[in-house]
Amino acid sequence: MTTSRQPSKHISTDESSTETRVQRNQPLSVPAAEKAFLSADADFVAKVIHRLGVKIPVATDGRYLDLGEVGSGGMGQVRRAVDRSLQREVAIKRLDEDKILGPESLHRFIGEARVTGRLDHPNIVPIHELALDNNGQFYFSMKLVQGENLEDLLRQAGDDRLQADQLSKWLVVMLKVCDAIAFAHDRQVIHRDIKPSNIMVGSFGQVYIMDWGLSRVQSGSAKPAASQTSDDVTLLDFDVPGAVMGTPAYMAPEQVEGAHDRIDERTDVFALGATIYHIITGRPPFAGKNYYTLLMEALECQPMAPEAVVGTDRVPAELCRITAKAMSRLPEDRYPTVAALRDDVERLLRGVWHLPTETFTGGQDIVCEGQDGHCAYILSQGRCRVSKLLNGEQVELRQLGPGDVFGEMAIFSASTRTATVTALEDVEVHVVTREALSSGLSLETWAGRFVRVLADRFCEVEDRLRQAEAVLREHGLALPPTD
């Protein structure tokens, strides 16, 4: 499929699967010999394994105690079990017989286990064993991930997901997902199905990117791919030209086109951006009234801007910019790497977007000399004048512009304001309370104590200057204004 060609009307989809094929001429035909998988015995399966050139051990009977189903996916079901030999709970993924459509399905199942097993990263689920049971059924065991997927968590959070503390939490989750995907890319593996439902979040900060069944191992790199061994099953051979692989609601245009030769790291960057879009808006970027219109929306790649969905006052403008860049229609306009995307998200988290804001009109005093101070300010828009009462006159000391900070001495040392700050025009400021400053600067640490001592000493100097001014005024003298 190309941007100038309409998708074929022959669309075959299994709604339980993340893999969908769009044929140019007719639905996929499965040879009768391959359909024998549906009623295959162990001997037949063993012959097919031999034909594929893979070596799969036969499992020890009775090793796992089944504890029930956990969930199901495109190629099988996941069940909870106890590994009797190691006395630990694991997850077992089995290849369903009714979902085996020839060697391709088997290939992908084995490939998922092997590729995932070689991606040794804290945010990728470890694979323990790939084997064939005594009934000729394929399975692999892996770490049992206990938690909820990001899609469900966002749904439960509702509108509260955009509160500063909540949004920070989701973005920290995305940093960990970026770490995992960047690691996979370094091993030449493209995930191709990143979405909130494939991100598991545990109760204690664990984050895992799941479901590598559609991953593609890139070739032509000087660095060995994650799945290259002498008897290996790669995932390249079964990428049917024109087949749509992944979840269209989060797909990059080149993925919708089935242009597998154009798939690279930036395709996953797009899906990461689409996942952030879901975090912001509570929905995927592409919906569509039916599957055909969904494909067309993803192909055109013109989602409603996230700030237009939720309102500009509810989401940081910088986060919307990051999302838009990651989801650019052309790969060359996106972040070139996941690491570059991650860096921008991390910079956002270190910024001031989560602080409350206040606005002041021109001529309005924001802080007044001599008053108690309970917060500091970061000027984000407009200009202000700093002035001080000297010799009975209000003397301008300097002017402030966007990015400047004022009022910090009062909360560092719990003293009164030493100057007056007045808005010269309509201004917007971020408000920094002592609690927020303590959190950001760790005021209760040894470094924080040094900052407080310096602030106290500065205030002592200010007090001495005031006393000197008073003595001079008594004698009819005055201190010259200082810059």
Each residue's pLDDT tens digit, 249-272: 999 999 998 888 888 999 999 999
**Burial degree of 203 (CB within 10 A; 0-12, 13-18, 19+):** exposed
> Which fold is adopted by the domain 31-144?
Phosphorylase Kinase; domain 1 (3.30.200)
pLDDT band, very low/low/confident/very high, at 303 (cuts 50, 70, 90):
very high
What pLDDT does 280 receive? Answer: 95
Compute the mean pLDDT over every residue in the chain, rounded to the nearest whole number: 78
Contact in structure between 225 and 188 (CB atoms under 8 Å): yes
Q: What DSSP character marks residue 26?
A: S
Between 5 and 141, the higher pLDDT residue:
141
Residue 322 pLDDT > 80: yes
The span from the CA of 97 to the CA of 336, in Å, is 40
Q: Mean pLDDT over residues 210-219, rounded?
A: 85
What pLDDT does 55 receive? Answer: 61
Q: Mean pLDDT over residues 57-63, rounded?
A: 68
What pLDDT does 43 receive? Answer: 53
Instruction: Specify whether the backbone of 92 is left (phi greater than 0), alpha (psi in -120 to 50) or beta.
Output: beta
Residue 213 pLDDT > 70: yes
Between 46 and 254, the higher pLDDT residue:
254
Residue 246 pLDDT > 90: no
pLDDT band, very low/low/confident/very high, at 60 (cuts 50, 70, 90):
low
Give bridge partners of residue 92 from the DSSP assignment.
79, 141
pLDDT band, very low/low/confident/very high, at 132 (cuts 50, 70, 90):
confident
Residue 393 has φ and ψ, to the nearest 5°, of -120, 145
What pLDDT does 444 receive? Answer: 52
Q: Mean pLDDT over residues 393-404, rounded?
A: 90
Residue 8 pLDDT > 90: no
What pLDDT does 38 receive? Answer: 38
Tokens describing residue 51: 């034909």
CA angle (78, 80, 85) in 5-degree steps? 120
Q: Active site includes 344?
A: no
May I ask the CATH class of domain 147-353?
mainly alpha
Domains 147-353 and 357-474 share a fold: no
Q: How far is CA 22 from CA 62, 115, 274, 296, 350, in A?
A: 42, 26, 22, 13, 44
Q: Of the ranges 5-14, 425-434, 446-455, which is most confident?
A: 425-434
Going by DSSP bridges, is the β-strand pair 64-72/76-83 parallel, antiparallel, or unpaired?
A: antiparallel
- Which residues contact residue 164 at a Cβ distance below 8 angstroms, ignoring those fewer than 6 apart? 353, 354
pLDDT band, very low/low/confident/very high, at 425 (cuts 50, 70, 90):
very high
Specify the DSSP element, H or E, that contains 367.
strand 365-367
pLDDT band, very low/low/confident/very high, at 135 (cuts 50, 70, 90):
confident
Between 391 and 128, the higher pLDDT residue:
128
The span from the CA of 105 to the CA of 250, in Å, is 23
Residue 117 pLDDT > 50: yes
Residue 36 has φ and ψ, to the nearest 5°, of -60, -15
The span from the CA of 341 to the CA of 273, in Å, is 9
Q: Of the ranges 51-65, 85-99, 213-227, 364-378, which is most confident?
A: 364-378
What pLDDT does 420 receive? Answer: 95
Q: In the chain, where are the structural domains located?
A: 31-144, 147-353, 357-474
Catalytic residue, candidates 179, 193, 211, 268: 193
pLDDT band, very low/low/confident/very high, at 45 (cuts 50, 70, 90):
low
Q: Mean pLDDT over residues 172-178, rounded?
A: 96
DSSP string covering 69-122:
EEEE-SSEEEEEEEETTTTEEEEEEEE-GGG--SHHHHHHHHHHHHHHHH---T
What pLDDT does 437 receive? Answer: 67
What pLDDT does 62 receive? Answer: 77
pLDDT band, very low/low/confident/very high, at 414 (cuts 50, 70, 90):
low
Q: Which CATH architecture has domain 357-474?
A: Sandwich (2.60)
Torsion of CA 231, 236, 237, 243, to 10 degrees: 150
Contact in structure between 284 and 278 (CB atoms under 8 Å): yes
Extended beta strands in 310-362, E state: 357-360
The span from the CA of 473 to the CA of 168, in Å, is 53
Question: What separation, in Å, do the N-terminal and C-terminal C-alpha atoms of the chain show?
Answer: 68
What pLDDT does 24 receive? Answer: 30
What pLDDT does 401 receive? Answer: 93
Contact in structure between 234 and 217 (CB atoms under 8 Å): yes
